[in-house]
Amino acid sequence: MKKLFMKFCVVVLSCFMVFNTAYLPSYAEDEMSYYEQNDLANSFRYTDGQMKDRGDANYAARATTNSGWPNDPKAICKGIDVSYHNGTIDWKKVKQSEVEYAIIRCGYGTNDKNQDDKKWEENVKGCIDNNIPYGVYLYSYADTVEKASSEADHAIRLLQGKKFKYPVYYDLEEEAIRKKLSKTEIANIAKTFCNKLSAKGYTVGIYANKDWFTNYLTDSCFNNWTKWVAQYNTVCNYQGKYDMWQCSSTGRVPGISGNVDLNYSYSPFENSHGGGNTNNGGTTTKYPDGLNEIEGELYYFKNNRIDTSYSGLAQYGNEWYYIENGKVNWNYTGLVQRGNEWFYIENGKLNWNHSGIVEYNKQWFYVEKGRLNWNYTGLGQSGNDWYYIVKGRVNWGYTGLVQKGNEWFYVKGGKLDWSYTGLVQKGNEWFFVRNGRLDWGYTGLACNGEYYFYVKNGRLDWSYSGYAQIDGQGEYYEVRNGRLVGGTLTLAKMHGVANNQDSPTNYIVIVDRAAHRVGVFKGSKYNWADAKYYKCCVGKPSTPTISGTYYIKSRGKYFDTGTKGRCWYFTQINGNYLFHSVIYDRQNSPKRIIDNSMDAAVSHGCVRLDLENAKWIYDNIRNNTKVIIY
């Protein structure tokens, strides 16, 4: 009733002041005093002392964790701010939550015991008993420097005997103040309060929302104090320096009924009582630029303030560390640039002992003794694997031999291939590699794909003609000018089978069912030369291709098979066993293949060939030509 009566009087008297404006200031001051005495704050947060309802839906949209703090890697720790509005708090449960500090309201307005926060002492005790670091704020109604001085006395009285970590904040948000006073007058009020607290050895700061800091608290004096910015958002985009961010008014924390303000701190705030204000983000020690240790953590300072904008390398003692948003990132392992050079960081610290391959931004680089070596070309190790480096970077496009020390290794696609055994070319020469390493001790036949060549002391010898074994064991094969006669072992075997055979024509055809190969030789007995060598498809186990010696009988352009298929250019071996093409659909010419199986045993007994190979036999192998199948 008192509140309603006063508002009625203000309305009536305001009408009267139309005729007598000389009395207006006194009544405005009475109204301000009324709101102050009854803690009826009006601001972006309060209406007549009651928290504005921003709704849980808005809170949920902002929240990125269960307790409502959005993700911010620059932050040092999470906190809350409380007053009697939050009721009785179970600080033991708060301690067990994510909360790492609290800012407690000590009171509001001028130095009147009736304006002490009713939960001030209780909340301080709760923090102390549960080892929760805390700071302080006082809500201002001051519209004169005299009132600001009294508000300072109010805070000083309540802070006597208290030891706390975080600053004393002057809460500037009362809407009537900025409507009534100029920016300069507000600055003078802030100076009065802050200078008086600083003189007593307290670190002081200003609390306001982004709008206040951007448009009203613009005097240069506000750069002398740490700033606590309110902006209910997923990020704080205030452009000035600040050390604390109030990110939500609708947080939920165990031990507190209803909503609570959530905050992030960007400064360690080492000790806010004693030592005086030093414009260093709340600490009371002068810190040189660079890394400084505070409570076991390393922070990057600039102008005696933690520089949360800095990310990069910084030295502390004899060591270098990786800084991310003003703090050592102990979780980071990888490359970091400093000037024109790159260095290897392991668990936040530069590792001068590391040499090897390091991945960065989807590329791989060679690090030597902690520093990226752009001049290095050769093999580099990562774990159990080796890679080929060209000018400090892995060359994924390279396949070939690479020397390391006195040995040579085979690299495939930039990586050493320990599984490879065979021939590898380097320049105009070929070398024998066994299990990824050039084998200078090997002499014998070596394979390159299907074809075999003669190697002497690890190097292909084109001058050799004679006989040789594979790996010093098994059969001896004929070699001419460094190459196995017949090229492949299968062809070499076919050549051996044909060699002492004669044929009614100047061709002989050999089929190796196990190898799925057809060899055609031209000449005569003891003088057969390779003519053609084809992959083929032979009969499956249930309908195998016949074996033995046969003579070509006849031929035809095509025949149909199944319900849809047509095979082209068939040449008869014996009975229904034919050479013919793969299976096409039934058109006037071979256009669409419906079964192109090759190099397998899947036919009904015939020997299938690619169309051009079937046609070559159809065109060139005359009737009565000998065919040997094994």
pLDDT for res 530: 81
Task: List, by residue range, all CATH 3.20.20.80 domains of the chain.
Answer: 42-265
Percentage with pLDDT > 70 across the chain: 87
More confident residue, 597 or 67: 597
Task: List, by residue range, all CATH 2.10.270 domains of the chain.
Answer: 290-394, 403-486
Helix, coil or strand: residue 89? coil
Question: Could you read off the pLDDT of 435-458 as tens digits, one per residue?
Answer: 999 999 999 999 887 788 999 999
Domain spanning 42-265 has what CATH number? Answer: 3.20.20.80
Q: How confident is the model at residue 276 (pLDDT cuts 50, 70, 90)?
A: very low
CATH topology of domain 494-629: L,D-transpeptidase catalytic domain-like (2.40.440)
**CA–CA distance from 395 to each of 101, 364, 386, 415 (Å)?**
52, 9, 12, 9
Q: How confident is the model at residue 140 (pLDDT cuts 50, 70, 90)?
A: very high
Residue 316, token pair as written in the block: 């502390």
Distance between terminal CA atoms of the chain?
A: 115
Residue 518, token pair as written in the block: 């057809």
What is the mean pLDDT of the segment spanning 518-541? 93
- pLDDT at 114 > cutoff 90: yes
Q: How confident is the model at residue 471 (pLDDT cuts 50, 70, 90)?
A: confident
Percentage with pLDDT > 90 across the chain: 72
- pLDDT at 212 > cutoff 50: yes
Question: Could you read off the pLDDT of 477-502 as tens digits, one per residue?
Answer: 889 999 988 777 788 888 889 989 99
pLDDT for res 116: 98
Residue 618, token pair as written in the block: 């159809």
Domain spanning 290-394 has what CATH number? Answer: 2.10.270
pLDDT for res 7: 45
pLDDT for res 472: 84
> How buried is 601 (Cβ within 10 angstroms: 0-12 exposed, 13-18 middle, 19+ buried)?
middle
pLDDT for res 184: 97
Which single residue is written with the structure tokens 């290897």?
Answer: 344
Tell me how far apart the alpha carbons of residues 249 and 53 are, in angstroms, rounded to a whole number: 9
User: Which of 302-311, 390-399, 585-594 has the least mean pLDDT?
Assistant: 302-311
Average pLDDT, the chain: 88
Task: List, by residue range, all CATH 2.40.440.10 domains of the chain.
Answer: 494-629
| Cα–chain center distance at 400 | 32
pLDDT for res 573: 98
Question: Could you read off the pLDDT of 600-620 as tens digits, one per residue?
Answer: 999 999 999 999 999 999 999
Tell me how far apart the alpha carbons of residues 508 and 325 are, in angstroms, rounded to a whole number: 81
Which single residue is written with the structure tokens 């309802």?
Answer: 53
Question: Could you read off the pLDDT of 247-272 as tens digits, one per residue?
Answer: 999 999 999 999 999 999 988 776 55
As its CATH architecture, domain 403-486 has Ribbon (2.10)
